[in-house]
Structure formats: C-alpha cells, structure tokens
Structure 1
Amino acid sequence: MISTRFDRRAALKGGTAAVAVSLLGAAVARAESTAFRHGVASGDPLPNAVILWTRVTPSEDALPGSGAGAPVSVRWEIASDEAFGSLAASGTHTATADSDHTVKIDATGLAADRTYFYRFTALGQTSPVGRTHTAPADSATPDRLRLGVVSCANWEAGYFSAYRHLADRGDLDAIVHLGDYLYEYQRGEYGGRTGSVRWHEPAHEIVSLADYRIRHAQYKTDPDLMTLHARLPFICTWDDHETADNTWSGGAENHQPATEGDFGIRKAAALQAYLEWMPVRTGADRRLYRRLRFGTLAELSMLDLRSYRSEEAEAGAGWREIDSPDRTITGKDQMDWVQAGLVSAPVTWKLIGNPVMIAPLVFPPLDPAASAAFTTALGLPRSGIPANPDQWDGYTADRTRLLRTITDNKVSDVVFLTGDIHSSWGADVPLDAAAYPNGPTAGVEFVVPSITSMSIGDTIGGAPRTAAVPIEGTVKGINRHLHYTELDSHGYGVLHVDADQAQMDWYYVADVADPNTAVRHGASYGVRRGGRIEPRATPMV
C-alpha cells in the first residue's frame, strides 16, 4: 500500500532538549530552506578534526543529478557554542556541479572529546545547525564508548523510524553504518512485507552517475535520517546495494552488461556519488577501509568487503572453489592492513566494522581433519555447506588468515560489528566451528537487523515470532557458537564498551510501515575482557 503520510514528533526527549530547536530544523529543512534542503551531516571524528557535509541547491534547475547550476560560495562555521559566539574554525568552499553541489569540509584544529555545533551559509540562507563530537585524544582513557549500529535501510520497504529512536537518545557518541545505506532497485521491485510504502526516485534502477546522485539525495530528505545526521557523527562503509546487489570487484549479480553497460563505469559512478554524498574521509586513493581511535579504550577498523572481493562461488560445483587460497573477500592490501592493525593496536577493544557475517553459518560444521576424505569426494567446502556464500563463509581462506592472525598473536578483545543479513545474531567466532566450544575463538560478533529491508521472517510470512522461531532454534543447534538469533524484527543495535566489557543491546521497532512506530528492547549479549559471549538481562543505561 502506498502512503505519503509522514507525521513528525513535536518535541524531543530527555537530554537532547537543550538543542531541540536548532536540530529539529534538520527534519524540516525542505520547508525552511530552499538552499539546504538535504540537511547537514558530520562524520569520521578524530581527536582534532571532523568531516562536515551539506548540499546546496542554487536554483530549481540545479537539482541533484542535473549537472546544472552555477558555482556557489558557501561559508562554513564550527563553534563550541550553539550561538556561534566562539568559532573554533571557519572558511569558505565553492560548491560546483562537478561534485553535485555537495560540500565536504575536513574541519581541523579542534579540541579532543569536545561537542561542537556547525552550520553553512549560502545564497543569503543559513542551513540547519548540526551537532557533532570529536574523538578523545589517543592517550586519553575514556570511561566508555557508546555507538548506535545500523545497516540496510530500504526506502520503499518502510519508514526510517529506527533512526528517529536513535536520534531521541542522549547517550551516543556516534553512529556506525555498516552498509546498504540505500538501495539501487527500480521502483516497486523490492518493497517490504506489505509492498512499497513510498516510491524510489528515479523510477528506474540506478546505473549512471546522475541516477546515484538522485537516489542519494532522496534518502537525505528522509526527516528521521536528516535529524540523526544532524545530531551525531556517522562512521560509514558500504556494502553492495550502494552499487548493485552482490557486488564483487568485477561485476554484480544485479548488473547485466548487455543492457546496463560496462560495470567498471557503473562502479566508478556509484563510488563518486557515495564520496560526494556521505560524510566519509578518504585520501587520494579513495579507499573506504580506514581506522578510527577512541583513546586507549577502543579502535574501530571499517572494512570494505565489496571493492576487492572475488566473484561469489555458485552452489554445487562452485563449492569446490570456496576453500581456494586464491579467492579473497578483502583483497591483499586490505588484509595486510587489518592484520597489522589488530596485532599492533594500542587499545583495549579492537572493533571491526564488518559488512557481512564472519561467524560460520554452515550445515553442518565439519572437522576438516576428520572429514577430509568425505568433503573431497563430494566436492564440499572443508568446513561445511555455507548457508550464504556471499558472507565470509564463501571466502574461507581469507577468514582463516584473519582469525589465525588473531589467535596466533594472542590478540584479545576483538568485536566484529556486522550488518547485511536483515536479522540479529550474537556469536563467538571460533577458529574451528566443529570443535566449538573447545578450541580457540578469535572474538565475538554482533549482527544488527535491518532498518527496514525485508527480514528472513518477512520472507517466510505469517505472524511475527511464529514460523521463524523453530528455524532459529535449529540453526543454533547445528552451529553451537551461535548464541542469539532473531530472524523477524527490524531495528538497530547499541554497542557499549568500557574497560571491563562490551555489550550489544538490540532494539526492535513494532512496524516499519508505521512512521510513528514504537520501539522495544529485544535482547542483550556481552563479553568480558578475555571472555566469550554471554547473555545479559538488561540493556546498558
């Protein structure tokens, strides 16, 4: 059912009240400003710097993707007070059609662990005011770090109420977005449980640079997403749908060269639009894998598991390829980078922003030594048949390289933060799943559900928490390292890290088709330093 209704709350809750007036402006930017109709955002906080973002619309014929519009001089300001009486940095930037009139500023010279407010002015108009926060100094020992963790937001499948609930919290330091920030499909192709609640723009599948720009711009008009961007810095990586479903280095399942042209051109267009429209910091190499640090407490390594990976192995005969050491999900340079970073990390908690699930999900887990003759004869992967070879299960040599680096070097307190599969999981990450709970583990994994994209339970049909429940039990029974799974619900995670423990709290919205839906706490799992995953009775407060 198509609906155009979208009501906004009149007030914000709790500790956010002090900045409610300015930050609510982000949710209604289109009504208040014709120049800054896509809001403001910040990202990739460092101790002395943060990325600031906006988009300027110079005229009605210079809409996103148009390639039209004269250059516009934009002033930016960042201050320690909301009244901008004490500027920490400022400057001007010329927004042009070459970058779709987007503005990205790496504001430097800031103080560590400090809240700042920022804004832009152009064409006689002032943008909504955003709020951001710098990271602690590398030598600092913060009491805790608390991150909102999200993935998989499909415009047509539902409203982004999960973003609203995250924005209403007053206790988060940043938002980690693990990919599928947007979807590439044509209008009506991939909706939600009850169909599409709103339409994609453009109407066709996005392929060209103009297409990707228009789709990014549409997502940036969602009021809940706009408000969250204005409230907190984002730390983002991409998964496949920012380009095309099941993207790999040389193509994608959802790319047909005969009708959609050269994949290299499409991939370059998707990357250009992503770098224009997202508050991410990249160098001249334009690589998305990067590392951010939060004092001596934690370091977050964000992976890019689409740009360099080998093509996904096909079921059946393709299973013979899964264990090949020539296949990669990270690419050699990224693998070297993440291995070196884990071994040398001068922090307590090593967090990995990991777009696709790394814990084995196989049927059944097999002991490689005992089953070698069997698996060789049948052409099966040595560790078992993967449920989804698009995950690390389809690239076992790379997974073994990474996990052995962790276990051989006695790297402790590794936490993988994962999205992609539209469901919730909590797991130990064993070196050998068949031997679990004996044998070494390389850390824990917390997988967050989708914001709106169809869950496994949605696909099965029936009432929520009915048909999916026995499947959850079966999966956990076969894969003993999986301690929590919930296949129905949509929502987000909140990761709490302190000197002694890391805990993930899962929150679920009641109905993604209702823009005013409520949210509830679903489950909590944690890990103590040097330990394994365990259930927790209550969320962190």
Structure 2
Amino acid sequence: MQSAKINRRGVLGLFGSSGAAALPGCTTIPEANAAVRFAHGVASGDPAPDGALLWTRASVEEAGAGDVPLRWFVVSGAAGSPTASGTALARTAADHTVKVEVDGLEPGREYRYYFTGPDGTRSPEGRFRTLPVGATDNVVLAVASCQLYPGGYFNAYAHMAQSERLDAVLMLGDYIYEYGADGYGADIGQRLNRLPDPLHETVTLEDYRRRHAQVKSDPDMQAAHARAAFICVWDDHEVTNDGWIGGAENHQPESEGDWEQRKAAAMQAYFEWMPIRDPKPGRAASEIYRSFEFGDLLTLAMLETRLLVRDKQLEFAGDPSDANAYARLLTALSDEKRELIGSRQRDWLRETLRTSTEAGKPWQIVANQVVMAKVSGPQLRRQMGEARYAQMLAQLPSGYEGRLRDAQLAYEAGVPFNLDAWDGYPGARKRLYEAFGASASKPIVLAGDSHAGWANNLFDDAGELVALELGCTAITSPSYGSLLPGIGRYIEAANEEVAYCNQDKKGYTLLTLTPAEAKADFITVDTVLDRKFDAEVDASFVALAGDEFANWRRAGEA
C-alpha cells in the first residue's frame, strides 16, 4: 500500500481572489462600498450533459441587508474568456444563498466557474465536469458520507480535493448532524475547538442554516466542493437521528414541536445550502430520487430511503435475558409489508435500470443511504473465546460493558446487526431484489450511514448473486471500531455476504469504472485529530462486467 503525504498549501491553492466588474441596474443591492464575501466557498452539483447547478452564498456585513445581485461565469479550459455568464440573486429569503442552473455547455468536458459580487469581490473558483455522451472509456467517482463536524478534521476531503481525475462526488448523507455541544462526538469537538454551531440541538430553520454554514466554513469541505460536482442525498442527521416518515428517535414532540414542521425546516435549509436541484413541480420536497447517465458506460440512480415512505424502525423491548422478547422482535421483523423506499420509487428504479440494460450499458449504480447486505452481529464471546472476551469487556469505557453484553444476547438470538438498515426491512429488500431481476440488472449498490467500509456480495433468498455493494466509511463520525478496534474482522467472519468490513478508519471510497471492470479503492486517513495526516489505500476490490460478473475479489488476487 502506498502512502501519500498531503500538502495542505496545495489544497488551499484551489482558491483565489481578484476584482471583477460590478453588476449595474439592480435596486436591491447593498450600498456600493458594502463588503460582500464568499465565506462559504462555491459548489456545483447535479451535472448534466450540457451543464450543472452552481451554488454559492453572499455573506453581507450589513445587518438587514436585502437581496444581493451576483454575476456568475463559466470558463472552458485553463484560460480564456467566459463560455457562459449571467446574473443571479442571493435572496434574503434563501439565507443569501443562490443556485444557478447552467446549460448550453458541451458534454464530457471540465469547466471552471466563479461568482462576483456587486462590489467587485470575486469568489473562489470551482471546477465541474459535464456528463459524457456516447462512447465513454472510464468514469471516476468518489463516495462519501457521515461528516460529524465536532468529530474531527475533514482530512478525507483534503485528500479528495487533490485527485487528478474526479468526475463527481457522491455524498450519501449525514452532511450535517443535529446534536448539540453535549451530544455525539462532543468530547472530540471540545479537544479540537470544533463544537457545533449553534451549541444546542438543531430544531428551527435558523438552527439548520447555521449548522450547514458551519460545515461549509471548513476549508477542506470547500476544497472538495471546488474540485468536482457533488451528487447528494440526505440521510437521517440532516433532520435528526433515525428518522422515518412519521418521526425520529431523536425527536421529542413535547419539547421540540411538530415533526412535520421540523422536517420542513431541515429540508428548506438543505435545499438552500446544498448544490442539488430543487424538486420538479408536482413532486414532494422529499422526492429527491433521480438518475444520471454517464455516456454508454453507466447509469447512476440515487435513492431516498429516509423521509419519503420509511416505516418506523423496530427496536428491542423487554428484558435482555427474555428469549420471548427476541422472538417477538423477529416476528415483527418478518412482516413483509414494512417499507423503506415504497412502490412508486421502486417502479421508477426498475424502469431506470431496465432502460440502462436495454441500452447495453455495462454498469448500473444504485446509491442509497444504508447498508443492504444481510449482516448478522458478531458473536464475540464465541468468536474470541471467553478469556479474550472478558478482557475486552474490562477495557471498555464506563457504561459500555452492559450495552455490549445486551447486544451479544440479541445477536445470539438472531437479531440483525443494524435494524435501521435494510436488515430491518427484509420484505422491502426482497421486493427490491425482484426489481433488479425484472430489469435484467445486477447493479453495484452504494451505501453510507454505517461509518464503516464494506465490500458485500448480495444474494437473494435462493442464493443467487443479485448485486454487489460498497459501503463508504465516515469522513469523521465515530464507529464501533472506536470502542472495539478490529471488530470488522469478526463481522467479516460471521457473514457470508461480507468480504470486507473496516470499522476502524475514516476516509472515502474511490470507484473507477471502465467497460470491462469496476474497481473500488478504500482510501483511509491515519487521523482526523490533526490536520497533518497520511492517506493510503486500505484495500481494493475488483468486479468484472457482463458475463464475468461475480463476487468482489481483492485487486491482485487471481
């Protein structure tokens, strides 16, 4: 494995500033000498063959400043006159954010872009690549998820920003977290002076806006956004932990108000602050599932598994020593009516995949938020032996020993590893696998949420391989490996579908596709507690297209 030391000056060197002509003719601009900054950088998203969506925010010093007119410019190649330009309004009602849908560009080309304010201030510069059309030799995608701001530095994004080739970044959710200064990851945030803003849990529109603003103030986050277009979906923490259609584990109506109002506020802030196209007229705000075509090589389908139709997660209730309590849970789990994506989204996905396979595209990618594989929890007492298991329990921080013992009882009774993932909705997963078969597709599934790296082989109930799966680890968010280093090896050993599970390290996944093969590189960083870091490829897996499609194999193995 090769290690790469990061030159942070090079990352920040993506940004620049210079003067530009002021925009005349607008009556809502601040005073001529008003300071307009681009403190949150620039971003692009949802690329198309002829353009992309461009995003920025105008930071205006004056209290009560009105709408701010901006100019935007798109440049082809390393230098030259703008290929496209126009005006846009950073509206007060949208927290002074602005999104521009650029079209009329050429497919399969890299473009640069920037904004200017009415006072001549120029934004940082960003890059995006339009989607290819026709014959496509390769596509390179970065896959990221779970970036708890107090959880550490965004070193994975610093590394990603220096990628020589990057067609798009797939952000699979948990872009922000809702917790306050005494919540998840607060101990690390205190050490690094990265406590959340606001300090309390996010509930209102202003809360969510401030939390998004904090994440986008990070220089490594800005560098990654400037490097390539992001294709985003949310998961639960963009609202609150373990959300479903009617509520969330971390939403208490008696103290935090109406769930629908909180969800609406969170979604509004998300659409304001993220480089994602707004829902089409007639569609609900939560219907963010959509697809992208990368020439004749692949179709990317982005799913929504959280707010649209998801039934409430099952959870254990009762005495951990009561076998009947586990039996009741497993009976409830067998209810095939429970939904995760719903029939409308599933029908859309089936037709999207079918159209792709009928066009002869070798790859279909299905990006969703949660792990799809069947994953049993590791039975550590049996796998490790009584002596090592007892030693591990004794080394856990205060309060965790009992929780781990209870989890082991549940796993021994047959309760899956994660009831918030597809394992908590086996009937919905079965219907999804049937949709894969009806479309004649064996896709690669992408998953976030778990804070772990995964390479999984997905089988239906008949034992047939129906898809492959890649789970990206977290950018910063703590995982089980933080408490139990090496636990991923026990998860691998306990599960037929799991070829690789790294619960210990942070980073992202780089997926490179050609007509012949797909290669996944699990890139990890050695620390998120210091801005100086090393990055390496922890593992690489390869899958072959077409008739050679089979289980993941480690790169270099026969």
Cα distance in 2, alignment partners of residues 338 and 45 from structure 1: 19
Correspondent of 1:351 among 365, 385, 399? 365
- The structure 1 residue matched to 2:527, chosen from 511, 529, 534, is 511
In structure 1, distance between residues paired with 2:515 and 2:39: 42
Q: Which amino acid counterpart does residue 314 of structure 1 have in structure 2?
A: E
Q: How many residues align?
A: 481
Corresponding position of 1:226: 222
Q: Find the partner of 1:443 among 467, 475, 484.
A: 467
Identity of aligned residues (%): 39
2:221 alignment partner, SS class: helix
- Cα distance in 2 between the residues matched to 1:193 and 1:440: 45
8 Å contact from structure 1 (residues 158, 192) kept in 2: no
1:362 deviates by 2.7
Distance in 1 between the 2:155 and 2:366 partners?
26
- Change in Cα spacing, 1:404 to 1:156, as seen in structure 2 (3 Å) is same
What's the secondary structure of 2:198's corresponding residue? Answer: coil
1:524 maps to 540
**Cα offset, 1:193, TM superposition:** 7.5
Cα separation, 2, equivalents of 1:318 and 1:229: 43
Match of 1:421 among 432, 436, 450: 450
Q: Distance in 2 between matches of 1:188 and 1:123?
A: 41
* 1:398 is aligned to 2:428: yes
Q: Residue 127 of structure 2: SS of its match in structure 1?
A: strand
Alpha-carbon deviations, 1:321-367, whole Å to 9, x = none? 223232111122212211221222132100011110001113699xx
Amino acid at match of 1:350: Q
Return closer, same or farther for 1:57/1:39 CA change in 2, 3 Å cut-off: same
Amino acid at match of 2:524: Y
Question: Does the 8 Å CA contact 1:151/1:181 hold for their aligned counterparts?
Answer: yes
CA distance in 1, matches of 2:126, 2:503: 35
Indicate conservation of the 8 Å contact 1:525/1:533, yes or no: no
Moved more, 281-290 or 491-500: 281-290
1:99 is aligned, of 86, 89, 94, to: 94
Aligned-partner Cα distance in 2 for 1:504–1:8: 24
Per-residue deviation at 1:213?
0.5
The question of 1:311 aligning with 2:306 is answered: no
Q: Indicate conservation of the 8 Å contact 1:364/1:385, yes or no.
A: no
User: Which of 530, 533, 537 is 2:551 aligned to?
Assistant: 533
Report the counterpart of residue 24 of structure 1 in structure 2. 15
Deviations 1:279-318 (A, max 9, x none): 0123232321110110010111111111120110122434
The amino acid of 1:126's aligned partner reads R
CA shift in 2, pair 1:84/1:275, >3 Å: farther
Q: What residue is the counterpart of 2:351 in the other structure?
A: 340
How far is the alpha carbon of 1:195 from its aligned partner? 5.6
User: Does 2:270 correspond to 1:274?
Assistant: yes
Please state whether the residue corresponding to 2:60 is helix, strand or coil. Answer: coil
RMSD value, Cα: 2.3
For 2:188 and 2:99, locate their aligned partners in 1 and report how far apart those are by CA, in whole Å. 38
Aligned counterpart, 1:9: 8
How does 1:223-372 map onto structure 2 within 5 Å?
223-282=219-278, 283-284=280-281, 285=283, 286=285, 287-307=287-307, 308-315=309-316, 316=326, 317-345=328-356, 346=359, 347-362=361-376
* Cα 1:113–1:318 shift into 2, 3 Å: same
Pick aligned residue for 1:46 from 45, 48, 53: 48
CA distance, structure 1, for counterparts of residue 16 and residue 336 of structure 2: 52
Taking the aligned partners of 1:54 and 1:24, their CA distance within structure 2 comes to 14
Mapped partners of 1:73, 1:329: distance in 2: 42
Residue pair 1:88, 1:109 contacting (<8 A) in 2 also: no
TM-score computed with the length of structure 2 as normaliser: 0.82
The answer to whether the 8 Å contact 1:161/1:517 transfers is yes
SS in 2 for 1:10: helix
- 2:153 touches 2:529 (CA, 8 Å); kept in 1? yes
Match of 1:119 among 108, 114, 117: 114
1:431 aligns with 2:460: yes
Q: Distance in 2 between matches of 1:156 and 1:77?
A: 35
Question: Which residue does the alignment assign to 1:453?
Answer: 477
Contact 2:346 2:435 in 1 (8 A): no
Q: Give me the whole-angstrom Cα distance separating, in 1, the residues matched to 2:301 and 2:261.
A: 28
Distance 1:441 1:60 in 2: 60
In 2: Cα distance, 1:506 partner to 1:214 partner: 32
Cα contact 1:353–1:418 (8 A) shared by 2: yes
- 1:410 maps to 2:440: yes
> 1:492 is matched with which residue?
508
Q: 1:162 is matched with which residue?
A: 156
How much has 1:83 moved relative to structure 2?
4.1
* Corresponding letter in the other structure for 2:263: K
Aligned to 1:463: none
Task: Specify whether residues 59 and 397 from structure 1 end up closer, same or farther in structure 2 by C-alpha distance, changes over 3 A only.
Answer: same
Q: Distance in 1 between matches of 2:556 and 2:251?
A: 44
- SS, match of residue 175 in structure 2: coil
What CA distance in whole angstroms lies between the structure 1 residues aligned with 2:78 and 2:258?
A: 48
Q: Residues 538 and 521 of structure 1: is their aligned pair in 2 closer, same or farther, counting only changes over 3 Å?
A: farther
Tell me, in whole angstroms, the C-alpha distance in 2 between the residues paired with 1:271 and 1:278. 10
TM-score, normalisation: structure 1: 0.85
SS at 1:45's partner residue? strand
- In structure 1, how many angstroms separate the alpha carbons of the residues matched to 2:7 and 2:252? 40
- Alpha-carbon distance in structure 2 between the residues aligned to 1:106 and 1:518: 37
Q: Which amino acid aligns with 1:76?
A: W
Equivalent residue, structure 2, for 1:30: none
**Which stretches of structure 1, 4 residues or longer, exceed 6 Å deviation after superposition?**
none
What does the per-residue CA deviation read over 1:361-386, in whole Å, with 9 as the maximum and x for residues that have no partner? 13699xxxxxxxxxxxxxx99x9521
Q: Deviations over 1:7-46 (max 9, x none)?
A: 982235xxxxxxx85x2339xxxxxx85211100001111
Cα separation, 2, equivalents of 1:302 and 1:178: 9
List per-residue Cα deviations over 1:83-122 (Å, max 9, x = no partner): 451x332211122111111010110111101111111111
Question: Where does 1:138-177 land on structure 2 (aligned, <5 Å)?
Answer: 140-177=134-171
Structure 2, unaligned runs of 5 or more? 1-5, 18-34, 317-325, 380-409
User: Alpha-carbon deviation of 1:190?
Assistant: 1.4
Residue 490 of structure 1 aligns with an amino acid whose one-letter code is: K
Q: Find the aligned partners of 1:84 and 1:214 in 2 and give their Cα distance.
A: 37
1 CA distance for matches of 2:414 and 2:301?
29
TM-aligned CA deviation for residue 408 of structure 1? 4.8
SS of alignment partner, residue 83 of structure 2: strand
Partners of 1:422 and 1:49 lie apart in 2 by 33
Gaps of 5+ in 1: 1-6, 13-19, 27-32, 62-67, 366-379, 461-467
